A and B are shown apart, each in its own frame.
Chain A
Amino acid sequence: MSETAIPSSLRFRDDEPADEPAVSLDAFLDQPEAVSVRIEGGDDVRLLEPAFARLKLVEVDFPRFRDGRGYSSARILREMGYHGELKAVGDVLVDQLLFMRRCGFDSFAPNAPIDLAVAVRALNQYDFVYQQAADARVPVWKLRHG
């Protein structure tokens, strides 16, 4: 699965990005025409489920990279069947990219620029994973038993 080609950006989607700016969760729920929402750490992403049809972009904020609430938010959204863009924003370092991809993030807007060559190395570091997550990777225990 190793792709060694360096991506041109930290966006792993083929579709056009949503061009509406992201609004807060409260505003999004209040505005039926909004398509982009910004989730803070304490927000309950489950409230977005009824709006999936119109939802194109969810930005999840990481105010400090140590604050890991966004990983759960992302995974919950993918579990609920959200297929739109899921972007990690803020204090995102290259060493978190793989976990974030596995939780369902498919684009990144880090505060400090991330070297794309370093990023691709980080994303391809592990050929195998122990658990199922929001990505398509098959966990090791399933590989063992066919």
Chain B
Amino acid sequence: MYRYDKYDQAIVDARVEEFRDQVARRIAGEMNDDQFKPLRLKNGLYLQLHAYMLRIAIPYGTIDSRQLRVLAHIARKYDRGYGHFTTRQNMQFNWIKLEDAPDILAELAKVEMHAIQTSGESIRNISADQFAGAAADEICDPRPWAELIRQFTTFHPEFSYLPRKFKIGLTASDNDRAAIKLHDVGLQIVRAADGEMGFRVFVGGGMGRSPFVASLVREFLPAGSICSYLEAILRVWNRHGRRDNIHKQRIKILVHDLGATEFARQVEEEWRTLQRNDDDIGLAEYDRIAAYFEPPLFERGLSDELDLSDPRFAAWVERNVDAHKQPGYAIATISLKPIGGIPGDVSADQIDLLADLAEDFSFDELRPTHAQNVVLPHVRKADLYTIWQKLDAAGLATANLDLISETIACPGLDYCSLANTRSIPLAQKISERFADPARQLDIGELKLKISGCINACGHHHAGHIGVLGVDRKGTENFQLLLGGSGAEDASLGKIVGPGFSEDGVVDAIERAVEKYRAIRTPGERFLDTYRRVGVEPFKEAIYV
């Protein structure tokens, strides 16, 4: 993975010093919160329900054992013993003191980590396919481009006061595991017929109050032009994006208002001008970065045999382990959704275990996913059983990847001052209702996503079943959505009808699931059946 050189380190260190100074000015009363807020947001520091919350960047979802151990240390020393993996591959700590934030950032800087631009109206963490470098279906590892773009968008002087936040996602596969079409800019790495590397550029996706699937704005952009092209997109939006209504300021609104064709035309026009600047990062720099992402030194001649005589281990392999491009290896996803647990939360001890597993068994790499899980990307099949035993002892061996109990849930009203409802207790109730492993397997793939408010941090629009928490005259109420997907077949879920109480929505979900089981054809997932029959049969079953 990428390693800072003296320049990267100097920039992060300067940022820590700058923020230390800004915090001191705030605590001394030289700045009010209105002035300080954008500055602390640029360092990932939110003011939440119970305390300040710090969101630490895990660039394109790649982290090593050394960094994980520092996160565990921060959890113990500065927080309350745990952290949370987010739906953008970052880590959040919920109980941070403002006065400690500069020291925390200094400790992070020592292991090449930061919280730069993880919140506020900034260009946020670049997300990427969690199977990068391991999956057979990718053209190349997308992460060198992700790193190049990360540097280019860090402290970009023209684009540090944007109308709203801006999220970029990358994949190098037709199987989109990074949900790029639900990002402000989604980039799919492709190869032209003559072998030239380039990007399919999607713009204007996003969830929240007005969800959109991104539009294809350019079929093929030569890879070396990505920086100037991103500048063109950002400049068109920075100049023309609305600034009058905070709910209408994302780039997806501009793309929708102009129409994709006119938006693309404006970008092309701006791009032609920008190309004269010579802003594009040279390919020698790409090569330098790409050298950090060479495939690990895989052993050759390893067996693909697996002893599956332990049924619990076999169940975990069946659900959570994916094929690796290298014979004898596998990709192991660790579900952070134990039955009745808090989705995405990990204790300091668990973080240390993940560090050990990454270091000992996965070439020292761990990959947080946007589903609030983590992946060991390069595991020898021969080591899977040992890994599973260690996970099992730590309560991290739930064999439920992409099953109904493997829910995405935002922190919700238990932690977040923006929320209308709690999300975590609902996720817990659902996982307990469907706890029976045989029942879950019979239901099959069902991606359930819960957001406690319209900001959609739980990605409910992209759930096969989605739940949106609303405030109904001061009480918690939950709306049910069906038919969303964040994959390459991206679609937005539809609300089925009036909302429910917390217990009511668990029952409603159960009725929807039973309806699916009653009418499905062999091989159909819940999403497939819904797409085949539409919402009406489900609506009838739910509102019986």
- Which residues of A pack against B, CB within 8 Å? 41, 65-69, 71-73, 75, 79, 93, 95-96, 98-100, 102-103, 121-122, 125-133, 139-145
Contacts and interface: CB of A to CB of B under 8 A. Distances in A.
A145 B276 contact: no
Given A65-B161, A130-B156, A144-B5, 12 more contacts: A41-B243, A67-B243, A98-B157, A99-B161, A103-B158, A127-B14, A129-B155, A129-B157, A131-B157, A132-B278, A133-B157, A144-B7
Given A69-B238, A72-B238, A79-B276, A141 B151 contact: yes
Contact of A66 (B5, B10, B121, B281): B121
A68 B157 CA distance: 10
A128 B282 contact: no
Contact of B238 (A68, A140, A142): A68
Contacts of B282: 141-142, 145
Contacts of B35: 65, 93
A96 B160 CA distance: 9
A66 B161 contact: yes
B284 interface: yes
B300 interface: no
A2 to B, nearest CB: 11
A71 B276 contact: no
B277 interface: yes
16 contacts: A68-B160, A68-B162, A69-B238, A72-B158, A72-B238, A75-B157, A79-B276, A98-B157, A99-B157, A122-B18, A132-B277, A141-B151, A141-B281, A141-B285, A143-B7, A145-B284
B154 interface: yes
B294 interface: no
Contacts of B160: 68, 71, 99
B237 to A, nearest CB: 10
B279 interface: yes
A126 B14 contact: yes
Contact of A145 (B22, B121, B163, B285): B285
B521 interface: no
Given A66-B38, A121-B21, A131 B238 contact: no
A130 B5 contact: no
Nearest to B286: A141
A96 B161 contact: yes
B39 interface: yes
Nearest to B22: A95
Contacts of B8: 140
Interface centre among A100, A132, A143 (most CB of B within 10 A): A132
A42 B437 CA distance: 58
Interface string B9-21: 0110010011001
Given A66-B121, A72-B239, A145-B285, A125 B158 contact: no
Nearest to A68: B161
A10 to B, nearest CB: 17
Interface of B: 5, 7-8, 10-11, 14, 17-18, 21-22, 35, 38-39, 121, 151-152, 154-163, 227, 235, 238-239, 243, 273-274, 276-279, 281-282, 284-285, 288
Nearest to B163: A68
Nearest to A141: B285
A96 B159 CA distance: 12
B5 A71 contact: no
A103 B7 CA distance: 21
A69 B21 CA distance: 27
Contacts of B279: 131-132
Contacts of A99: 155, 157-158, 160-161
B158 A133 contact: yes
B155 A125 contact: no
A25 to B, nearest CB: 14
Contact of B157 (A103, A125, A143): A103
A79 B277 contact: yes
Contact of A128 (B7, B152, B235): B7
A90 to B, nearest CB: 13
Nearest to A93: B35
Contacts of A139: 281
A125 B17 contact: yes
B238 A130 contact: no
Interface centre among A122, A141, A145 (most CB of B within 10 A): A141
Contact of A131 (B21, B39, B152, B273): B152
A68 B281 CA distance: 24
A95 B161 CA distance: 12
A48 B163 CA distance: 25
A145 B274 CA distance: 22
Nearest to B160: A99
Contacts of A71: 157-161, 238
Nearest to B276: A79
A140 B243 contact: no
A71 to B, nearest CB: 5
A96 B18 CA distance: 12
B412 to A, nearest CB: 28
Nearest to B287: A145
B152 A126 contact: no
B9 to A, nearest CB: 10
